[in-house]
Amino acid sequence: MNQIHNPVPLEWKSALMLTILTVAGLAMFSWPLLIPVRVEDGMVSTSPFIFIAILPLLVFLVLAQISEKGMDAKALAILGVLSAINAALRPLGAGTGGIETVFFLLILAGRVFGPGFGFVLGCTSLFASALLTAGVGPWMPFQMLASAWIGMGAGLLPNSIFGRMIRGKWEILMLVIYGIFTAYFFGMIMNLWFWPYLIGPSMVGTTELAYIPGGSLIDNLRRFLVFSLITSTAVWDTGRAITNSVLLVLVGLPVLAAFRRTVRRAAFNPEITFEVTP
């Protein structure tokens, strides 16, 4: 059997950078629950944005580290093609009842090309789609990071259980379950970054949906879960989960086969051997 090389191999430095970025990203997403903030002139203090501003720098630093030694011209070409396809697919469904057409391809690509490629593709896909749809804003780095986690997670899914390869309908079932989980994960974590600023200053802390500056973790977490359930989970996230499931079932097997054929033929990062002749 020919050895299949990962198009974006993760060396220990890249893996360490990804771990640091993941911890920092989770902290930046969840700061409203973890950090007591002040209310200044009736508004939630904007000081946490100092930390938020660091997120894009961390994302691009990790991308540079991953691509420095681990991405050849063929991997870069495939990354560009898939990023362009995802950027073109996203406007077809985004904003319509939670229909999202960008994540199924990200999951399939991460599954075949590995966690490093999935992470980079998640970032570049959302960045390209934001430029295409004029969706550039303070939310973009958060969308990029959340999508990168989805692509990376798909690459970390197991290839075998009890010594048996996961292929065919069982692989699609696993990816569908993962697609449903990531649909709700993406919606909830994207809600978390803007939730403290959504409700006007006069309503801060006065409703069951509002963030309470300096409130307890349990109380704010309860309010956030109610907010997400009412505004996102029941409609948008469920629509995203259905879209992921349907598309993975319909096109999952042929796309996986095409990706795996591409990996075999491209021979990413082949080991160089020298034959000595007398």
Residue 94 belongs to domain with CATH number: 1.10.1760.20
| 5 domain-assigned | no
Does the residue 277 lie in any domain?
no
The residues facing 96 across adjacent strands are 99
Q: Residue 182: pLDDT above 60?
A: yes
Torsional class of 134: left (φ above 0), alpha (ψ -120 to 50), beta (otherwise): left
Domain count, the chain: 1
Model pLDDT, residue 5: 54
Which pLDDT value is given to residue 76?
79
| Helical segments of 229-268, H only | 238-266
Angle of helix 238-266 relative to helix 103-113, nearest 10 degrees, comes to 40
Give yes or no for residue 96 having a pLDDT over 80: no
**Residue 184 binned pLDDT confidence (cut-offs 50, 70, 90):** very high
Kindly report the three-state secondary structure assignment for every residue of 86-115: HHHHHHHHCCECCECCCHHHHHHHHHHHCH
Distance of CA 37 to the CA centre of its chain: 28
Say if 25 falls within a structural domain: yes
Range list of H helices, 133-237:
140-155, 169-198, 217-228
pLDDT tens sequence across 137-147: 777 888 888 99
CA dist., res. 265 & res. 93, Å (int): 33
- Residue 28 within a domain: yes
pLDDT in tens, 12-66: 777 777 788 788 788 778 877 777 655 554 444 454 555 566 666 666 666 665 6
- Name the residue with higher pLDDT: 43 or 152: 152
* 166 part of a folded domain: yes
Residue 1 belongs to a domain: no
Q: Is residue 87 part of a domain?
A: yes
Residue 150 within any structural domain of the chain: yes
Res. 237: pLDDT tops 50: yes
Please report where in the chains the tokens 């997403």 appear, as a residue: 29
* Ranges 39-43, 126-130, 171-175, 224-228: which has the least confidence: 39-43
| DSSP 3-state of 1 | coil
Listed residue (249, 115, 241, 137) closest to 186, CA to CA: 241
Parent domain of 214: 12-266
CA distance 184 to 193: 15
